[in-house]
Structure 1
Amino acid sequence: MKTIGKWVFSPLFFLSFIFAAINIIDRTLSPAWLIPLLLLAVVVSFATEKWLPYEKVWNTPRGDLVRDIVHAVVNEGTLIITVAMIPIMTTIVPHFSVWPHQWPILLQLGFAVIVADFGITMAHYISHKNDVLWRLHAVHHSVKRMYGFNGLLKHPLHQAIELSAGTFPLLLIGMPLEIGALLGFSAAIQLLLQHSNVDMRIGALKYVWAVAPGHRHHHIKDGIKGNVNFGLFTHFWDHLLGTFVIDSSKHPSPCDGDLGIDSQPNYPKGYMVQLIEPFRSKI
């Protein structure tokens, strides 16, 4: 049963929650209904990590759970506010009304995901090259264990930068509120999977889908070995950038003790301290 669970979890988790979200929007229900759906996804994600752990020790908090919850609430709350402001932003920001409203919602969402994936991946990639951006991004890399909430652990300023890079082109062509809400929801679901402690098996999908088996390599504490697999939704841009790796003898899958920031093994753990650390530290 566990073997089957390892193979079906990630596609079933992603597709079931995405289609549930699309169904909510398709029935013209308020995007606010996506919030309890996301909370359910978090519960399912955590329960599956307990059932099928990649590293059992990563399921045990290390004085980081409350901090991670605060990061998640602040960042997701900011995202919700941003999505709610889409109608205002499309009024203020000059844009071209060329959004394909006639497409089915699934295709509109797919288009938004592709555009956002490029922008966010490139912002992520540049954040590993630029010292100022890296200081902000380092908050995310300070984790010593990987589990679902890690994807929501970001400095608010860095999240704003990635969010802008991913959504500004979409706003320029008139992305509607409903698709913006679905895109934000899809990103949250993807981040849960990308940082999951589930021992998931995805076969050939590992070459294109940027979930935990590939993304764990990105969190290796070695600054050089960790400069790989930047993609949010896909590895497509990593293939073009030459930054894609998979599990191999040259790139073994990381385990406990392999994560963090080599140059700052004692990176601050508290939420408020992490907010100010980028402004007083040179990494």
Structure 2
Amino acid sequence: MQEALQLMIAAGASFIFLSLVFIPMEKVFPAKKEQKIMRKNWALDLCYFLGQYLLWNGLVLIALDYFGTWLDGYITVGFRQSIKSQPLWLQAIEVILLSDFLIYWGHRIQHKVEFLWRFHKVHHSAEHLDWLAAHREHPLDTIYTVGLINLPALLMGFHLEALAILVAFRGIWAIYIHSNVRLSLGPLKYLIGAPELHHWHHDIERDAGNYANISPLMDVIFGTYTCPSKEPERFGIKEDFPKNYVGQMVKPILPKQIWEKLIRKKSK
């Protein structure tokens, strides 16, 4: 009971904090000026926010912990000692570059492999982008993404506490690049990610590019960088997909035949 109360307090505090940070930014530097705070499907994305904070974040951290323990059995002590003997700044650069490389290709594969896309398209089903829409993710998709992002840190022997800090930072960054904000960075846009880049990734065309995470450098290197001067006309996906939280959680897990059978039964 006490743990549930603490989770609810933490979720409420996080919601207030993120609202106070991002809503003013979206009002002062809007990417889509006509978009309202309480726009269409706002309640659905609120369900995703609450689901992440009250249900799934703990599952993600447990999965990450088990993944790290499993890796420990395959990584030699000598390897990790050689890594830790390097200067801290060099370790940080290695982690960032390797992480961005892995998540770039892992993300790009999500758009190509149907099994991965069935979970990832939950995130892309959002037809409006803002700080709240960033939370629209299937938990299994989150585990895949968080595992890839933190794989270099796990291989190098970073403690779970350090990983929690990395997860929190990338979480804030993910919220920022989904926010309804457009800020010109000039030439820095080739080194530092921005909402204008990720918005084009959410274009209704499934392979619109911009798969990188913190820095767009990988997109520049591998030819998937795009940054038009305007916002995409439409976000979302072209496929038929449930419009409610439970449906979006369940459909990716079930085989197509079982899902269609459930839909037929429901329609009778």
Name the TM-score, length of structure 1 as normaliser: 0.72
Q: Whose radius of gyration is greater, 1 or 2?
A: 2
What corresponds to 2:38 in structure 1?
61
**CA spacing shift, 1:132–1:87, aligned 2, 3 Å:** closer
Distance in 1 between residues matched to 2:35 and 2:108, nearest whole Å: 26
Match of 1:196 in 2: 179
Cα deviation digits, residues 82-108 of structure 1 (max 9, x gap):
44776676455323434538855x765
2:238 equivalent in structure 1: 262
Deviates more, 1:50-59 or 1:184-193: 50-59
- The one of 272, 275, 281 equivalent to 2:246 is 272
Task: Give the CA deviation at 1:180.
Answer: 0.4
Equivalent residue for 1:171, pick from 143, 154, 176: 154
Unaligned runs of 5+ in 2: 1-9, 258-268
Q: Aligned pair in 2 of structure 1 residues 88, 136: CA closer, same or farther (>3 Å)? A: closer
Cα deviation per residue 1:174-228 (whole Å; 9 max; x = unaligned)? 111232012111111111111110232211122222221111111111234x2x0
Q: Return the offset for 1:253.
A: 2.8
Larger relative contact order (C-alpha < 8 A, sep ≥ 6)?
A: 1
Compared with structure 1, are the counterparts of its residues 38 and 122 closer, same or farther at alpha carbon in structure 2 (3 Å cutoff)?
A: farther
Query: Does residue 213 of the first structure (1) align with residue 196 of the second (2)?
Result: yes
Secondary structure at the aligned position of 2:181 is classed as coil
Counterpart residue number, 1:46 = 23
CA drift of 1:281 comes to 5.5
Deviation at 1:155, TM superposition (A): 1.0
Superposition deviation, residue 109 in structure 1: 5.0
Q: Which position in structure 2 is the counterpart of 1:253? A: 231
CA contact (8 A) 2:119 2:138 kept: yes
Q: Figure out how many residues of one structure are paired with residues of the other and give that number.
A: 239
2:84 aligned with 1:100, yes or no? yes
Determine helix, strand or coil for the equivalent of 2:34: helix
- Kindly tell me: are residues 41 and 116 of structure 1, through their superposed partners in 2, closer, same or farther at Cα, counting changes over 3 Å? farther
Counterpart of 1:122 in structure 2 is 105
Q: How does 1:143-158 map to 2 (within 5 A)?
A: 143-158=126-141
1:262 Cα shift? 2.5
Give the superposition deviation at 1:79: 3.8
Q: Which amino acid aligns with 2:124?
A: H
Query: Quick one: distance in 2 between partners of 1:66 and 1:241?
Result: 37
- Residue identity over aligned pairs, in percent, reads 26
Superimposed CA distance per residue, residues 115-167 of structure 1 (whole angstroms, 9 cap, x where no aligned partner): 32222221110011111111111111111111012222111111111122222
Q: C-alpha separation between the residues in 1 aligned to 2:206 and 2:92?
A: 34
* Counterparts of 1:79 and 1:89, CA distance in 2: 15
Q: Is the 8 A contact 1:190 1:211 kept in 2?
A: no
| Aligned-partner residue type, residue 34 of structure 2 | V
Equivalent residue, structure 2, for 1:21:
none
Partner Cα distance (1:37, 1:112) in 2: 27
Letter in 1 for 2:35: W
* Contact kept? 1:58, 1:147, Cα under 8 Å: no
Per-residue deviation, residues 49-76 of structure 1 (Å, max 9, x unmatched): 1333221333343442232123233335
